[in-house]
Structure 1
Amino acid sequence: MNKCVFAERMKNFQASDIAAILKVTADPEIISFAGGLPAPELFPIEELKEVVAQVLEKDGTKALQYSTTEGYAPLREKIASRMNRKYQTRLESGNIMITTGSQQSLDLLGKMLIDDGDVVLCESPTYLGALSAFNGYNPRYVEVETDDYGMVPEALEEALTREKRAKAIYVIPDFQNPTGKTWTVEGRKAFMDVISRYDIVVIEDNPYGELRFKGEVPPSLKSFDKEGKVVLLGTFSKIFCPGMRIAWLCADGDIYEKFAYLKQAADLHSPTLSQYEINAYIDMYDLDAHVARLIDVYKKRCNVMIETMKVEFPSSVSFTIPEGGLFTWAILPETLSARDLLMTCLEKKVAFVPGGAFFPNGGHENTLRLNYSNMPPERIIRGIQLLGEAIKEHLR
């Protein structure tokens, strides 16, 4: 089609590296560390058969009907209670809006906050899907230095002082995608102390926080928020079933109200049937017990990957040891390209995501993200052996 029919913003969209890699990994012979997929064998299919039957029997006409933009009230109440119990927040159901996956929240927040040329601050690296969502609104990204505590306060302060058009800060403090790192409590407090001095919105994305293998659950950034600056995103995709496309946004005041306008314009409301099904599952079964089963499996797979990497990777390769979530992050010697390495690995039937895609301003081509949730232990071991073999070949 003639390119002149497309809006200017379409120049900011292109096929992502992950999308291209995932097409290749459709081959069942590929040992894929590329996606961020939960293990499908852990979906509660038998329980959901009973849940669906009950929902249709008891509330079928309501569950199959249009719903309110904000979402099914009983589910919103359960989400608020769960967030308060786990993350020390003080949310009410009126703070919760059901969304069609967290990706919708990111897109609509971009539409709400970003004018052409506005600045979005982010971790370095950051979630590629957030960049894809924001790109349509043509922001300029400023990557803020991040250490083992969180965003470096001095770097954050310097960026906020310098960037007069800074509108939003996007962060994943818990088991970050792609690095797997988690901010400390001290790092969270220091971040919020800096934020309190500036007029800016914080987008706190927390899809992985419940998948903790060890240690105490730190408070959410939202728990320190006294001015309504933090928008907290959560989802059932990683702790339940991503195909249901049910997530939520926690916000206050004008942000919540204006988000509702955008949500209504985008899709009226998220799938009613999915909302009823999740609500009924929580009533009929123990969601915490289900999450505990996920944690048990993912912890074992993570440990298998890390221990195999210690044996198979050269000492010149460093990697994170996550305490939860779905990912670890490896840094190769600077002379190596993860994109070139991927080509070799695909010949060996192994896939991962080159890390350069997670840096909005480019560079860092010697990094890579590895997912451990979607492969059984024996395939993880073999895949890491082959990856280690490929790294050594590229170092020769």
Structure 2
Amino acid sequence: MAEPPRYRFTPAFEAPAGSAIRELFPYLSRPGMISFAGGYPPPALFDQPGLATAAQRALGTAPVDCLQYSATEGLPMLREQLQALMARRGCQVALEELMVTTGSQQGLDLLIKVLLSPGDRVLVERPTYPATLQALRLAGCPLAGVATDAEGLDTGALAVQLAAEPRGRFRLLYCVPSFANPTGACLPLQRRLALLALAAEHDFLIVEDDPYGALRFAGEPLPSLLALQSQVPGAQGRVIHLSSLSKVVAPGLRVGWMVAPLPVRQRCTIAKQTVDLCTSPWAQRIAAEYLAAGALEQHLPTLVAGYRAKAERMLAGLAGLAGQLEVAPPQGGMFVWGRCRHGVLASDLFQRAVARNVLFVPGTAFFGDNPDPASLRLSFAAPGLAQIDEGLERLNLAFQSA
């Protein structure tokens, strides 16, 4: 009998670690489980009529655009609509600097391909989005965590950290300045300006991931790093901006975009040609028609109001856990970050919570280094108000048993 073939994997995939969050999926199938784990928009808040109208218009007016291959950098109509959307967000973007991606996660993957080599050091917030950590680790890039607090990335701590290294030691810094995943923190204006100044002084690029910026339900709007870079000497051209329709329209569209200096965008386009040729033209055309009709601006207040109500409900419920869980109230987005008191470990609490049919994400999944075993992330996005109440009651029981 022939021996089975020996598969020779690249070093990064000899024993790869999967997504810590996606490993929680089996728990979701349990009857009666209430999940505060995934950062998923609730189907009840999808603008299904608006998307249905956009889909009909797309197929009826431009079937070739929908059903044929398209340019790798994206359908012209969608790129123009995204350019207009960025202008409404305070960013005047040249069309040639904008490309459509299959979700903003693909944008990050393309940037890693064209900008980083194994061994290149990368700065990340501590904590940060775990899919970014996974992608950078698989690329062989050593990670250096930057301290954060309730206002996001601590630029004072970053300045001290950079001063101890030679200029240019770090290739880039990845951050989510507006309603970060997992902390929900929003970087204040002065810190945004300070971060741009540090990028110029120490010669690194900033990847600004902005999937949640439009979901502000408290406080005053802030300009993105992309919008601010021209105000800081030496910072122009150092910000690469990623965004997505996943959190404000529908994840199933898989439509994101990147704004990058032309030399970076051109190379990302070539890298994308080897991955998927182009983002689904059908999805792109639907997105373009949806944006062109002004449907996003019409629906966004409903979306924001829904998240505001859920966040307020969760924070009110968590007030009863004040002696057991320290939390930082967010001003937008989908997440509440917490830290267990009295020496309780999130991993132990997780097992007790699952036994009571409520799910969250232990915080260690979000750290590139020096994980905090007492931390955890709760998402208020997907469950309904009654589920939030019931889930927090179950979580309280889990704390009591811990």
Distance in 2 (alpha carbons) for counterparts of 1:2 and 1:360: 35
Q: 2:176: which partner in 1?
A: 172
Equivalences for 1:335-374 in 2 at 5 Å? Answer: 335-374=343-382
User: Within 2, Cα distance between the matches of 1:152 and 1:347?
Assistant: 37
Task: Return the offset for 1:305.
Answer: 0.3
The Cα of 1:84 is off from its aligned counterpart by 2.2
Matched, 1:388 2:396: yes
Equivalent residue, structure 2, for 1:108:
110
In 2, distance between residues paired with 1:270 and 1:292? Answer: 28
User: Are 1:108 and 1:259, in contact at CA under 8 Å, matched by a contact in 2?
Assistant: yes
Cα deviation for residue 17 of structure 1 reads: 1.9
Residue of structure 2 in register with 1:328 after alignment: 336
Check conservation: 2:328, 2:336, Cα contact below 8 A.
yes
Secondary structure in structure 2 of the residue aligned to 1:67: coil
The reply on whether 1:5 has 2:5 as its aligned counterpart is: no
Q: Structure 1 residue 13: deviation in Å?
A: 2.4
Write the distance in 1 (CA, Å) between the matches of 2:31 and 2:81.
Answer: 38
**Is this contact kept in 2: 1:326–1:371, CA < 8 A?**
yes
- 2:5 and 2:368 map into 1 onto residues whose CA distance is 29
The answer as to 2:55 corresponding to 1:48 is no
Q: 1:325 to 1:2 in 2, by over 3 A?
A: farther
- Determine if contact 2:74/2:99 at 8 Å carries over to the other structure: yes
Quote the offset at 1:129 in angstroms.
1.1
* Deviation readout 1:55-107 (Å, 9 max, x if unpaired): 11211122110000110112112212212222x22212222100000111111
TM-aligned CA distance change 1:334 to 1:81, over 3 Å? farther
CA distance in 1, matches of 2:154, 2:228: 18
The residue type equivalent to 2:102 in the other structure is T
Residue segments in structure 2 that go unaligned for 5+ positions in a row: 231-235
Q: CA distance change for structure 1 residues 49 and 74 in 2, over 3 Å: closer, same or farther?
A: same
Calculate percent identity across the aligned residue pairs: 32
Pick which of 1-10 and 19-28 moved more. Answer: 1-10
Quote the offset at 1:3 in angstroms. Answer: 6.5
Moved more, 217-226 or 32-41: 217-226
Aligned length: 392
Alignment of 1:272-291 (within 5 A): 272-291=281-300
Distance in 2 between the 1:23 and 1:162 partners?
44
User: Are residues 3 and 310 of structure 1, via their aligned partners in 2, closer, same or farther at CA, if it must alter by over 3 Å?
Assistant: farther
Superposed CA deviations along residues 6-26 of structure 1, whole A, max 9, x for unmatched, are 111114621222111122113
Q: Which moved more, 1:151-160 or 1:322-331?
A: 151-160
CA-to-aligned-CA distance 1:102-148 (integer Å, 9 cap, x gap): 11111111122222221110111011011122222111111111234
Correspondence for 1:30: 33
How far is 1:162 from its partner?
3.6
Structure 2 distance, partners of 1:121, 1:12, is: 24
* More off after superposition, 204-213 vs 264-273: 264-273
Task: Tell me the distance in 1 between the aligned counterparts of 2:45 and 2:322.
Answer: 34
Q: 2:119 aligns with which of 117, 123, 144?
A: 117
User: How far 1:334 moved relative to its partner?
Assistant: 5.9
* 1:197 maps onto 2:201 in alignment: yes
Q: State the one-letter code of the partner of 1:252.
A: P
Q: Distance in 1 between matches of 2:59 and 2:254?
A: 19
**Larger deviation, residues 133-142 vs 179-188:** 133-142
User: What displacement does 1:235 show?
Assistant: 0.2
Q: How does 1:198-277 map to 2 (within 5 A)?
A: 198-226=202-230, 227-277=236-286
Distance 1:283 1:28, change over 3 A: farther
Under a length normalisation based on structure 2, what TM-score does the superposition of the two structures give?
0.93
The whole-number CA distance in structure 2 between the counterparts of 1:385 and 1:270 is: 43
After TM superposition, which residue ranges in structure 1, 4 or more long, deviate above 4 angstroms?
Answer: 1-4
- Let me know the Cα RMSD of the aligned residues: 1.7
Partner of 1:305, secondary structure, is helix
**Does the 8 Å contact 2:151/2:185 carry over to 1?**
no
**Could you list the runs of 5+ residues in structure 1 that have no partner in the other structure?**
none
Most deviating of 19-28 and 357-366: 19-28
> After superposition, what is the alpha-carbon deviation per residue over 1:126-175, rounded to whole angstroms, capped at 9, x for unaligned?
11011122222111111111234443333223333444531110000000
Aligned to 1:39: 42
- CA 1:100–1:216: 2 relative to 1, 3 Å: same
